[in-house]
């Protein structure tokens, strides 16, 4: 037996179907949903591409810092793994003249207000890394920009220029100091400039005499005079006697190259030497000479007095000699 209810329902659908109004409404709903969802999907895709570009930029910055530690010139160095094709697929291109000291990428499509220009800058002397960016008109893009560069995501160039100036000062200071020490290594004598931190310029006057550095001309003259005097004195390192040295503008009283400070002290040392020599000579005579009377050595003090030798003994007076076994009237 046939099921009449099923047959009736099928006939009803065939005979009636969807009306034109219903179809239009369905199409309108689908169009509305597409208009809402498709831009959001595209926006999400682009946001993901921007985030991937940030990750690439971080890796490029790490590569550039490695080159910095190796002593490379960042203004002539690029990230090793950078490829234009990779950046292009993410919707960016490398800005002209980008190098490790200032590496920048910018949107391929300038009409896309989600994308924004971003870069990193590295101080060529300190290795300080700074991220900067120029935000897009789209608020979502601006948020992404701030996540990359913080306060340096700005259209105001003064903040960025401030960092450029800091890095330039670093570079100029390094060059100024390198030039100074290169000159100093020649052991010169005269005036030159060093870096002045108060004015951030290579204008600080210093004076150098060979290996000595002075911060005033008067100190320089003192150092120069003292060093020249010391050099002139070295000539008399074994000299004994009185000597005027023009480089020192002074008379010295040397004893075996040592300045005794006064003529009396120098002569005192000479007398001591003569006394010692005299005693040594007399002792030699005591041991080797025959008995009898001997004249004193040419010396001051008792060593210069007349003495007698009796059986290798020294007698200092005539009475001792007369009382000795060696005396014969």
pLDDT of residue 306: 85
List the end-to-end C-alpha distance of the chain, in Å, as a whole number: 190
Q: pTM above 0.75?
A: no
Residue 202 has pLDDT above 80, yes or no: yes
pLDDT of residue 121: 96
pLDDT in tens, 241-256: 999 999 998 999 999 9
Query: What is the pLDDT confidence band of residue 13, given thresholds at 50, 70 and 90?
Result: very low
Of 9-23, 166-180, 280-294, where does mean pLDDT reach its minimum? 9-23
Q: Residue 37's CB: how many other CB atoms inside 10 A?
A: 10
pLDDT in tens, 165-196: 999 999 999 999 999 999 999 999 999 999 99
**Locus of tokens 């000595």:** 212
When pLDDT is averaged across residues 120-141 and rounded to a whole number, the result is 89
C-alpha count within 13 angstroms, C-beta hemisphere, residue 222 = 7
Residue burial 45-78, b: 16+ Cβ < 10 Å; e: rest: ebbebbeebbebbeebbebbbebbeeeeebeebb
Query: What is the pLDDT confidence band of residue 37, given thresholds at 50, 70 and 90?
Result: low
């Amino acid at each position: 037996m046939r099921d009449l209810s099923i047959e009736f329902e099928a006939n009803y659908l065939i005979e009636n179907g969807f009306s034109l109004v219903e179809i239009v409404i369905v199409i309108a709903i689908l169009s509305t949903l597409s208009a809402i969802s498709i831009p959001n999907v595209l926006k999400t895709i682009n946001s993901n591409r921007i985030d991937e570009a940030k990750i690439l930029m971080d890796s490029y910055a790490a590569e550039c810092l490695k080159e910095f530690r190796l002593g490379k010139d960042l203004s002539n160095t690029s990230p090793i793994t950078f490829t234009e094709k990779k950046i292009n697929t993410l919707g960016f291109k490398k800005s002209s003249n980008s190098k490790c000291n200032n590496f920048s990428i910018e949107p391929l499509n300038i009409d896309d207000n989600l994308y924004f220009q971003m870069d990193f800058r590295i101080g060529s002397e300190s290795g300080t890394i700074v991220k900067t960016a120029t935000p897009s008109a789209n608020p979502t893009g601006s948020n992404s920009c701030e996540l990359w560069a913080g306060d340096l995501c700005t259209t105001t160039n003064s903040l960025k220029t401030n960092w450029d100036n800091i890095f330039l000062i670093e570079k100029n200071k390094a060059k100024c100091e390198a030039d100074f020490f290169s000159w100093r290594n020649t052991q010169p004598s005269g005036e030159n400039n060093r870096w002045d931190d108060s004015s951030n310029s290579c204008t600080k006057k210093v004076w150098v005499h060979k290996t000595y550095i002075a911060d005033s001309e008067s100190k320089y003259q003192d150092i120069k005079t003292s060093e020249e005097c010391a050099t002139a004195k070295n000539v008399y390192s074994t000299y004994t006697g009185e000597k005027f040295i023009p480089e020192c503008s002074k008379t010295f009283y040397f004893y075996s190259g040592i300045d005794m400070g006064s003529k009396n002290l120098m002569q005192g040392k000479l007398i001591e030497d003569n006394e010692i020599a005299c005693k040594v000579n007399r002792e030699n005579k005591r041991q080797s000479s025959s008995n009898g009377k001997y004249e004193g050595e040419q010396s001051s003090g008792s060593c210069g007095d007349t003495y007698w030798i009796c059986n290798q003994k020294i007698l200092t007076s005539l009475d001792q000699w007369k009382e000795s076994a060696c005396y014969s009237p």
